[in-house]
Amino acid sequence: MKKTYSPFEYISKGQGETILFLHGLFGSLSNWKPIVDYFSKTHQVIVPVLPIYTIPVKEANLNGLTHHIEQFIAYKKIDRFILVGNSLGGHLALIYTLKFPQKVKKLILTGSSGLFEAGMGSTFPRRGSYHYIKEKVEYTFYDPRVIDKKFVDDIFKTVNDIMKTIRIVAVAKSAQRHNMATAITAITAPTLLIWGLNDTITPPMVAYEFSRLIPHTTLRFIDQCCHAPMMEHPILFNKILENFISQ
């Protein structure tokens, strides 16, 4: 595995056709680990860190993060690839796909924002309350036992950094203001929706609406699953994604 921090932080593993993964608002590289380990046997898997906590405050919005992704893809000299996004990462994937349709061979969204999202980042979190943050984090999982104490501790530490929190709120508000219902009807890439049947952040109705609006769409639900299917049911997630990619 190759890992670098300058000028971008990312992981790259495996060889072959490229799959690029984008994490969500409170996401990290580790969110995709079971998926990276599986697909790196047959593909080049790349997961960049989105600079949500470090981007200049005036650029803490969808445009700023999309620009970062564009620069990263140019830096890595990635031509035509499969693009996968979770939550905010899905929203950014939609924007990128519309801007560079020739680059995206296939698009996969899981718990994506872009139509509707009820999340923690849209208002200023109660930074001092560990219990509150723990409840909000667990709310995004069907079975909170999927995550450990360190996962909650890391988010608690993040939201207690005032400058990081300002950026989180700015990015979240930018996403909520940016409804893509009209734009996404122009997407031409074959699109897969992998959705938690018990998603509390982007409920199943959101998946149905994405399926209705985006042409050439396949929708797959995972039961007993909330907002991060790749973390809660990685084996099933891998199987659904693999079947779609191989078509």
Q: What is the pLDDT of residue 234?
A: 98
Could you tell me which residues come within 8 angstroms of residue 176 by beta carbon, excluding any fewer than 6 positions away? 113, 117, 122
d(CA 176, CA 29): 24
Q: What is the pLDDT of residue 116?
A: 83
- Laid out side by side, the sheet with 18-22 consists of 2-4, 10-13, 44-48, 18-22, 81-86, 104-110, 191-196, 217-222
User: Measuring CA to CA, which residue among 54, 45, 120 is closest to residue 87?
Assistant: 120
Q: What is the pLDDT of residue 2?
A: 46
| Parts of the chain with a pLDDT under 70 | 1-6, 118-127
User: Measuring CA to CA, which residue among 1, 13, 34, 39 is closest to residue 235?
Assistant: 34
Q: What is the pLDDT of residue 27?
A: 87
- The DSSP line for 65-83 is HHHHHHHHHHHHT--SEEE
Q: What is the pLDDT of residue 196?
A: 98
Question: Tens of pLDDT along 110-165?
Answer: 999 999 876 645 455 565 789 889 998 999 999 999 999 999 999 999 999 999 99
Could you tell me which residues come within 8 angstroms of residue 214 by beta carbon, excluding any fewer than 6 positions away? 184, 185, 187, 191
Domains of the chain: 2-117+179-246 (3.40.50.1820)
Alpha-helical (H) ranges within the chain are 33-39, 62-76, 88-99, 130-138, 149-159, 162-177, 204-213, 229-232, 234-246
Q: What is the pLDDT of residue 198?
A: 97
d(CA 77, CA 68): 14
